[in-house]
Chain A
Amino acid sequence: GNSVTQMEGPVTLSEEAFLTINCTYTATGYPSLFWYVQYPGEGLQLLLKATKADDKGSNKGFEATYRKETTSFHLEKGSVQVSDSAVYFCALMNSGGYQKVTFGIGTKLQVIP
């Protein structure tokens, strides 16, 4: 079955530091990959996505590249802000039909001034 493995947090960074959150996956076929963000007390928001190998998803300064050879989709940001403090979920969804989303455990990011 499908699975997503991501680093457990919490990750604590100073403002303007570089962020990397690792994510690897196991899936059949060619899934779409996602990063979702959850702010305290709120639901999930799609941060970025990639639907095929070598695609790069980007949004709000965050980037992730779909690496089929390493089955990875690591999230990066060059300079984090306090407002980026949240929980980040890596996820995948198989293509075709109506497919459920498989989530990683989530990584809590705390950015301190």
Chain B
Amino acid sequence: GAVVSQHPSWVICKSGTSVKIECRSLDFQATTMFWYRQFPKQSLMLMATSNEGSKATYEQGVEKDKFLINHASLTLSTLTVTSAHPEDSSFYICSAPQSRGHEQFFGPGTRLTVL
């Protein structure tokens, strides 16, 4: 099946710094990608929909100025957590559908720890 990668797989940063997480579709093009967040022992919550060549669509309650999304190419979307704080520590997972209406393929996730 299709492969979605994420980089880095884990990151530890100091409070106040910014962290960029990359999501790549390795063997297919994805005009749309999704970013999810998972807190310990909880389900995945959709944060935003990343659209190639246009602005991301954020879910209610997600701060767009804090979680910057850039979908610069058909195979790459980035999530930047700006001025990170300990409460931003979480597991971030991206996904991409191989084509319109097709099932989604998930990346392996990035664990962010903010000290």
CB-nearest residue of chain B to A104: B43
The answer on a CB contact under 8 Å between B42 and A42 is no
B5-45 CB mask vs A (1 if < 8 Å, else 0) is 01000000000000000000000000110100000011110
B78 interfacial by beta-carbon distance below 8 Å: no
B93-106 CB mask vs A (1 if < 8 Å, else 0) is 10101001101111
Contact of B42 among A96, A100, A106 (CB under 8 A): A106
Give the A interface residue count (CB, 8 A): 24
Stretch at the interface among A16-24, A43-51, A61-69, A71-79: A43-51
Bound together, the chains give a CA A93 to CA B42 distance in angstroms of 19
CB-nearest residue of chain B to A34: B103
Bound together, the chains give a CA A106 to CA B100 distance in angstroms of 26
Write the nearest CB–CB distance from B29 to chain A, whole angstroms. Answer: 13
The answer on a CB contact under 8 Å between A89 and B101 is no
Q: Give the residues in chain B near A101, CB-CB below 8 Å.
A: 34, 44, 46, 95, 104
The answer on a CB contact under 8 Å between A93 and B103 is yes
Residue numbers of A with Cβ under 8 A of B are: 32, 34, 36, 42-46, 49, 89, 93, 95-106, 108
